[in-house]
Structure 1
Amino acid sequence: MNAKTLTEVAGLTRRSFIGSTASLGGTAALTLAAQSAFPAGVFAETAGPEVTKVVLGFIALTDAAPLIIAKEKGLFDKHGLTGVEVNKQASWGATRDNLVLGSESNGIDGAHILSPMPYLISAGKVTQNNVPVPMYLLARLNYDSQGISVSNEYKDSKAGLDSAPLKEIFAKKKADGKDVKIAMTFPGGTHDLWIRYWLAAGGIDPDKDVSTIVVPPPQMVANMKVGNMDAFCVGEPWNEQLVNQGIGFTACTTGEIWKRHPEKALGMRAAWVDKNPKAAKAVLMAVMEAQQWCDKTENKEEMAAILGKRQWFNVPTADVLGRLKGDINYGNGRVAKGTGLQMKFWAGGVSYPFKSHDTWFVAEDIRWGKFEPSTDIKALVDKVNREDLWRDAAKALNASAADVPKSTSRGKETFFDGKVFDPANPSEYLKSLAIKRVA
């Protein structure tokens, strides 16, 4: 658009334009005229997203909050995405299927997703006929605040962060001809990896000593209530709801297994991102702003009330709020306030998708046979992890330097049992593990 057209549309003659901006510098004058002509912003008009509609999926888990808050607070609209849909998914399997379809085939373009899933989908490990569907991981949505919960049947076992007290109990139950069922939410996903790590650290083989089953997060409590499982791993608010209903207890939170561990991610179809780079950046910016809002202590109560709404989780606010603030009633007589184990969304680089973290996810999935031992971990992570797009969005948001990591690696990670993961040498980590499916 040239200067003449701009002036005409604004309804300004040359004389009135000069008169109305005489006290301003040239740049400020031009900006004022542009704003008068286009309240939404003339520059936004030319640099806006390629599309305004994006279809995103979420599972009813507290760590979906950044997508939900971005929708509720108008942050997608703010960045030019006026037609965003944030649609509830029945399960992680449904999320996968809808990502494979894409919105053009009535599926979804991206989702709140288990961090390993973009890798499993991209490699065709969990898709129909093993057909790869390229995905990008654009941001980490949160750290910590998942839980491993156990049926009240085992309340006297003293099982906690150490699962070893359950080893003989499970063995006896199995010897009596009964099946020990351990539930997680998706094979190779974070909840599967947390509960496998917890069991294996206590000497319990998750493939030989128990049976693992898949249950969608919102169905965990109901299934535990009717005795369909002995233990499960899931995100909040379902562990807290289990305790509030007196059905089971939390043995540990996942932040106790690995402090400040990565959890969910924002994953999107690579084809959609490649076709709509500006829109993808707008999605990122809206979600990142929502993460900043979610991280503030003063917003926790409002956040819990929003998430509890019928269209989102349909649960009492009390089921969301406690652990969101880091106050944990484990349900076995142990109550801890201000634990520091609350869900983290932004400060200190939480949103940044460290490649070192994704290296652990792929290595751990190699451990349990989800990927071949010959998998080139670095090549796969470099292909799927788009931390470069995150950095671009963070720069556009003027994010604080304290929240933008300087390296793609957070360095060595230490787990509760003393195991150390060096992202520069994942094979050494795998060798150090006693229970695994690889040599």
Structure 2
Amino acid sequence: MIDSTSGRPDSLAWVAGSDAPEKSALNLGFMALTDSASLVVAATQGFAQPYGLTLNLQRQSSWAGLRDRLLSGELDAAQGLYGLIYGMQLGLGGAPATEMAVLMGLCQNGQSINLSAPLMRDGVTCAEALRQHARHNGAPLTLAHTFPTGTHALWLYYWLASHGIHPLRDVRSLVVPPAQMVEHLKAGRIDGFCAGGPWGALAVDEGLGFTLATSQQIWPDHPEKVLGTTRAFVEQYPNTARALVMSILDASRFIEASEDNLRGAAQLISGQEYVDAPLSSIEPRLLGRYQDGLGHAWQDAHPLRFFDGGQANFPWLSDGMWFMTQFRRWGLLREDVDYLGIARQVQQLALYRQAAEAVGVAVPSADMRRSTLIDGRTWDGSDPAGYAHSFELNALMERG
């Protein structure tokens, strides 16, 4: 289905020796999401074998289940929500604090906030209309996300707050696994959701709702899924962890090498054993081609990216720190923590640099990056505690 041999540098062939992986067969967890593509391509299209690895893909039904299997060792590594991995590190979200590791970023962008068809019929099709509805319509709307410390909760909260809607008071939140979002929307159990693809596009395609906002509108080129594991795994199997990053970097670069490769990846992951969704709901947004269900269509300037010259894969310290600032903002953390110190523990910068250099992927010279979000605020990692406390809408004054 995908010709993964074309364009691969000869220098990437695995040379056995002291760098050989300590563990050759890995159980790799993933969710039924478009942004699992680099894991699926790496595991099924020959990108792991040159590095002495066999990747056994194991689809998970919920982020909580994936978390528990990572902690038990049933999964060696997994596609993870950035906030999920940091929540595990900090002991948030119902699991004991465990030293975790972010090996690399898997993608940027590509999530969406969708609202229901009934809200569309009622004219709730923009932020101001949603704010008026949330403030003056009696019963609060129920908006779903995928995990309490996950990216989707935090994109949803950030977007709502940027438009004057308090996410903890003006709406009701519900945790729903991503692949169940459309079913919940159809049944009327939720009024909207924030999740990754293809579920936002599928809701539009089935006439069940519309896309109100994309996550890249909140933060262009934002961090999203990561390759996560426990710190214990990295310490026990350092060569294996490095080889795993190398194989997924190869697959990520291959996916974005051409539009044909993107289309091939869409076809592959649409299969029943992976995302199990119509190709028509996967491919367009993977190619950056959006239509929102309200009559608008566009080629997105910040589509789902798996590689982007390595920019999507570098585990920036500031990316990890940002999620902790939002934990603090919304009361998941009751006190400020050593934001930079924790990020230095979790983000495996040295290992990533070794892997990237070995496969010829450029690595930024700085460990932090500077970004401007939807509300005009700039995040650069320089003052995380001040940033967390600086928002007018937050939970800090309520929770202390």
TM over 0.5: yes
State the partner residue of 1:52.
24
CA contact (8 A) 2:93 2:149 kept: no
Q: Which has the higher contact order (CA 8 A, sep 6+)?
A: 2
Structure possessing the higher radius of gyration over alpha carbons = 1
**1:179 shift after superposition:** 4.3
Work out which of the residue numbers 187, 190, 196 in structure 1 matches 2:157: 196
Residues 1:398 and 2:360 aligned together? yes
State the partner residue of 1:423.
381
185 and 259 in structure 1: CA distance in 2 versus 1, 3 angstrom threshold: same
Q: Residue by residue, what CA displacement relative to the aligned partner does 1:160-199 show, whole Å, maximum 9, x if unpaired? A: 6x623212212333x2xx3421100000210000000111
Q: Residue by residue, what CA displacement relative to the aligned partner does 1:334-360 show, whole Å, maximum 9, x if unpaired? A: 111x22232111124111011111111
**1:424 shift after superposition:** 0.3
Work out which of the residue numbers 82, 86, 92 in structure 2 matches 1:125: 92
Mapping of 1:92-103 within 5 angstroms? 92-102=63-73
Q: Secondary structure at the match of 1:116?
A: helix
Q: Residue by residue, what CA displacement relative to the aligned partner does 1:228-264 show, whole Å, maximum 9, x if unpaired? A: 1111100000111111101000001111111111111
**1:46 shift after superposition:** 4.9
Taking the aligned partners of 1:206 and 1:251, their CA distance within structure 2 comes to: 16
226 and 406 in structure 1: CA distance in 2 versus 1, 3 angstrom threshold: same
Taking the aligned partners of 1:244 and 1:330, their CA distance within structure 2 comes to: 9
Work out which of the residue numbers 87, 102, 109 in structure 2 matches 1:144: 109
Mapping of 1:161-172 within 5 angstroms? 163-172=127-136
Q: Residue by residue, what CA displacement relative to the aligned partner does 1:2-43 show, whole Å, maximum 9, x if unpaired? A: xxxxxxxxxxxxxxxxxxxxxxxxxxxxxxxxxxxxxx97x5
**1:48 shift after superposition:** 1.3
Work out which of the residue numbers 231, 249, 255 in structure 1 matches 2:192: 231
Taking the aligned partners of 1:347 and 1:167, their CA distance within structure 2 comes to: 36
**1:431 shift after superposition:** 3.4
State the partner residue of 2:327.
365
Residues 1:86 and 2:57 aligned together? yes
State the partner residue of 1:355.
317
**1:47 shift after superposition:** 3.4
Unaligned runs of 5+ in 1: 1-39
**1:372 shift after superposition:** 2.7
Work out which of the residue numbers 40, 45, 65 in structure 1 matches 2:37: 65
133 and 430 in structure 1: CA distance in 2 versus 1, 3 angstrom threshold: closer
Residues 1:305 and 2:267 aligned together? yes
Taking the aligned partners of 1:203 and 1:159, their CA distance within structure 2 comes to: 15
Q: Residue by residue, what CA displacement relative to the aligned partner does 1:264-305 show, whole Å, maximum 9, x if unpaired? A: 100011111110111111111011111101223231111111
State the partner residue of 1:407.
366
**1:375 shift after superposition:** 1.2
What letter is aligned with 1:152? A
Taking the aligned partners of 1:163 and 1:358, their CA distance within structure 2 comes to: 28
- Number of residue pairs matched by the alignment: 383
**1:100 shift after superposition:** 1.2
The normalised TM-score by structure 1 is: 0.84
Q: Secondary structure at the match of 1:47?
A: coil
The normalised TM-score by structure 2 is: 0.92
Residues 1:339 and 2:311 aligned together? no
The root-mean-square deviation of aligned C-alpha atoms, in Å, is 1.6
Unaligned runs of 5+ in 2: 1-12
State the partner residue of 1:154.
119
State the partner residue of 1:187.
148
Stretches of 4+ moved more than 3 A in 1? 156-160
State the partner residue of 2:99.
134
